[in-house]
Structure 1
Amino acid sequence: MVGVNKDVEHTVGREGYGTGLSRRHVQMIAIGGSIGVGLFLGSGGRMHSIGPALVLAYALCGLAGFFVMRALGELALYRPSSGSFVTYSREFIGPWAGFASGWMYWMNWATTGVAEITAVGTYVQKWAPGMPQWITALLALGVLLLINLISVKVFGELEFWFSVLKVVAICAFLAVGIFIAIDGSNMGGGVTAGPHNLVAGGGFFPNGFGVVLISLQAVIFAYSAIEMVGITAGETANPQKVLPKAVNAVAWRIAVFYIGSILLLGMALPHTMYNGDASPFVMVFSKVGIPAAGDLMNVVVITAALSSCNSGLYSTGRILRSLAQRGEAPRFAGRMSSRQVPVGGIALTAIVYLAGIVLNFFVPKEAFDLATSVAGVGVIATWAAFLYSNARFNARTRRGELERPSFRMPGAPWTNYGTLIFLALVVVLMGFTDETAQRIAFFIAVPGAAVVLIIGWLCVRKRSHAAARAEESEQAQLS
């Protein structure tokens, strides 16, 4: 029997939300969360600099992602909540942890969304070079904002079809990749596909094992959004049945879509042939003579960018409302529409995206590289919140204070702490990379964010504690 906190299930986190997300929506949102621009576009540059050993980085981060999802799944079944890790961090770590993790998550999506919505304009210029980039980005933002404001069901439907397109593209590449690797197809220039390319051009570790470790932060950022499943829990019909299957499916998706794709990329061509300026998938499709490969992949990359922005608006709207309910975010961020949509939080994130579109013309590219590096730290902070909250939850179940669901974190609490150590190592390694953006993020941006969060908490803690007392009083009356 799945244990759920019945007293608060419908009064905390889920209050005011509908249940418009069906099983197929949640399943495909889970898939969409694990396939993004980081795979379709960013893996080319990483493959060139790291070599075939990049597959190890994806495997290590994928294992961490699996434990994060299992920790999240157990918490989500204990209490389905659109406040997700903010709700769990408050209960099992402390109010300050909910505040810090919520704003770190918002920072992640705010910076990521700005980069992605701007990228949409860049990708569209392939077909319409005369179209100003800002107009395309603005139109895309307007459409996504409208979809998020209509209803959660409309959001789920759009994300479903975004995910379908991405999955079709990945499956097509996997089929082509397996065929050419077995067939030993001629890739041009005297190069043939096959396992031998995994050790061509300097071996499996052409630049050493150290670069594999240094790449972990970027790979974790590529995995960001898999936690979307937890946020959908508060608007999912029958979460006890839907969520375990969605969470478990993340493991094989990571293995097949990410690890499988990187492995096949390594077999298709020597790593030296890839670069950061072109999608590695387009390169492989083009080498085997698939017509219009560039145009088809451009559609997929645009879809991935739109999907990312769509998810950002959805998730931050729910997280900001959870913060606003405790006085930890501007009051208007907690506003709900008659359609059961957190319009205030969505609007706040959309304003940041809009400002980013404008700033893109005045801020150099390096600033966006720094923003995404800081966003990667936001992902790690979110994952750490899930893991530590789950460890504290399990400690309380062992004392008999709470009932543990049948869907559980395997190997807890040792897997919790082991994964937390791994994530801490990833952050520390940012200080040893040659990439300027990551070094600035580690030595300046991360400490700066910590200072801002401490000051912010000192400013709102009285309102937060007062809201918590009012909430406890209301729950006591209900019980």
Structure 2
Amino acid sequence: MRDLTARKEELTASEKHSGLRRTLSRRHIQMIAIGGAIGTGLFLGSGRTIGYAGPSIIFIYMIIGFFVFFIMRALGEMLLSNLHYKTFADLAKDLIGPWAGYFVNWNYWLACVVAGIADVVAITAYMKFFDEDVPVWLVAVVTSAVLLFFNLQPVKWFGELEFWFAVSKVVTIVALLVVGSIMIVTGFTPAGRSPASLTHLWDAGGMFPMGAAGFVLGFQIAIYAFASVELVGTVAAEAKEPHKTLPKAVNSVVLRVLLFYVGALIVIMSVTPWNQIDPNQSPFITVFSTAGFQAAAAVIGLVVIVSAASSGNSQIYAGVRMLYGLARDGHAPAVFARLSRGRIPVAAAVLTGGLVFLSVPLLYAGDSVLSAFSFVTSVCSVLILFTWSSILVSYLRYRRRHPDRHAASAFKMPLGRVMPWVTFGFFLFMLGAIASNPDTLPALLAAPFWFAFLAVMWTLRRRALARSGRPITGHIPLPDFDPDRAPSSARPSDHRSEDAS
């Protein structure tokens, strides 16, 4: 009974610190985690990645998923070590320094805005399946307005929306796996095409038909597909029973990658040879169109649109929470920290969601909708690598500064001494992959200017706070439990004891 009382007091104190309510249940967190792993990068971007890498895309997603798992485990261990950590930006400012929190917050906020724009652009591309003549500006404006409306609703609405959005994604992929597997087993032969067969994975130039160069190029596009997995760390501030929900959500990353990415792509390229897949169209729609199931293809097209809307909704949600955190720390205008009666940062939502309307001029700036999509996704990929790097640097600092918390954790990152450094090496490889493609190189070249701008703004903001006598960043309380003194049954990191209670 005492454990339950202490648990309620812990969550109440955490909620007061954040100003947000823990109203997201276990099913919400689980499906948000799934939704983060299944995004526009898979439904639309995978067609373009197949064009670059061929069947080796399977290995690309497996390799990226391998490293993402360790990033998520590091994030999960740190968030559970102190429930007053609300996002990975809180980790950065507490474990690295106030400047790091400023950089991570603003960088991720921009990444969310850019990713939201990418999702709106993707929806305009999907709409072409239904009507080639639909004005792209109309689709972009309506979509952006709807996403903004969603993010002005109470967070429980967000949880419900994402739950059902994620369900639609899972149903779509399961349907693809079932239908595609039946086509492969029965040797289904579409009109004018070869029979569906696993041999398509290697009978058109082998598993690496584009050579090492194509394999490397595939990474810089595929990385965007994983750009929302860290969203679980952003919703931690509004999750009920985080010690139960977060570990399960994080641990399922690898399973989701194997099933939703690798499994789906094996089926897609077995039904339609990789060199016959249109990079400008979602390969999920292509499979059902190839099979002659036009009605099913139309349904899948609708689900793919819902998927992109879900991804955009999540990105705006995360961006709003980042801007809210910046304002609470004094790093953004105070108006963005004001909450409505429903505990929604309305001004932060209006700015973040409003910027997604920039998708309209962007659609007319390039040669095609796909070129606009490629540009914004490359920018987002560069920004997300910085975010992931900040998580790992924070983890290294966490282990050094809080060995007691690490020792008491029941959710330790596997190979915690080695994998952060190995992952940093992978990030260097990713930067090289981005630099090797003329289409993505501009995003990498622009990054130093962005961080130089943040450095100047941080210097000015820090001086302004000092002159006004305010702290240069928000305070993060110590954990409510002392791992060295509290009995094991009361440790917040021991989710097994909670299950027992």
TM-score (normalised: structure 1): 0.90
Q: Gaps spanning 5+ residues in structure 2: where? A: 479-501
Q: Gaps spanning 5+ residues in structure 1: where? A: none
Identity of aligned residues (%): 35
Report what 1:389 is aligned to.
Answer: 394
Report what 2:495 is aligned to.
Answer: none
Distance verdict in 2 for CA 1:412–1:51, change over 3 Å: same
Q: Indicate yes or no: 2:95 matched with 1:92.
A: yes
> Which range moves more in the overlay, 177-186 or 217-226?
177-186
Deviation, 1:359, is 4.8
Report what 2:375 is aligned to.
Answer: 370
Q: Indicate yes or no: 2:167 matched with 1:164.
A: yes
Report what 2:412 is aligned to.
Answer: 408
Report what 1:460 is aligned to.
Answer: 461
Q: Deviations over 1:256-289 (max 9, x none)?
A: 1011112222322321111212221222222223
- 1:18-97 pair list within 5 angstroms: 18-80=21-83, 83-97=86-100
Report what 1:263 is aligned to.
Answer: 266
Residue of 209, 227, 247 corresponding to 1:224? 227
Residue of 420, 427, 431 corresponding to 2:424? 420
- AA of the residue aligned to 2:212: F
Distance verdict in 2 for CA 1:179–1:167, change over 3 Å: same
Whole-angstrom distance in 2 between the partners of 1:372 and 1:82? 29
Residues 138, 357 of structure 1: 8 Å contact kept: yes
- AA of the residue aligned to 1:137: A
TM-score (normalised: structure 2): 0.87
Residues 465, 471 of structure 2: 8 Å contact kept: yes
Report what 2:118 is aligned to.
Answer: 115
Q: Indicate yes or no: 2:209 matched with 1:209.
A: no
How many residues end up aligned between the 2 structures?
471
Distance verdict in 2 for CA 1:320–1:403, change over 3 Å: farther
Residues 109, 312 of structure 1: 8 Å contact kept: yes
Whole-angstrom distance in 2 between the partners of 1:190 and 1:472? 63
Residues 19, 235 of structure 1: 8 Å contact kept: yes
- AA of the residue aligned to 2:441: R
Report what 1:429 is aligned to.
Answer: 433
- AA of the residue aligned to 1:268: V
Q: Deviations over 1:408-456 (max 9, x none)?
A: 11110211121122112201222222xx2312122x2122222212212
Distance verdict in 2 for CA 1:161–1:11, change over 3 Å: closer
Whole-angstrom distance in 1 between the partners of 2:268 and 2:70? 26
SS at match of 2:152: helix
Report what 2:441 is aligned to.
Answer: 439
Whole-angstrom distance in 1 between the partners of 2:71 and 2:16? 20
SS at match of 1:52: helix
Residue of 290, 294, 302 corresponding to 2:293? 290
Deviation, 1:118, is 3.6
Residue of 311, 317, 323 corresponding to 2:326? 323
Deviation, 1:327, is 2.2
> Which range moves more in the overlay, 326-335 or 128-137?
128-137
Report what 2:194 is aligned to.
Answer: 191
Deviation, 1:97, is 1.3
Whole-angstrom distance in 2 between the partners of 1:195 and 1:472? 56
Distance verdict in 2 for CA 1:464–1:87, change over 3 Å: farther
Residues 13, 87 of structure 1: 8 Å contact kept: no
SS at match of 2:190: strand
Distance verdict in 2 for CA 1:299–1:184, change over 3 Å: same
- AA of the residue aligned to 1:420: F
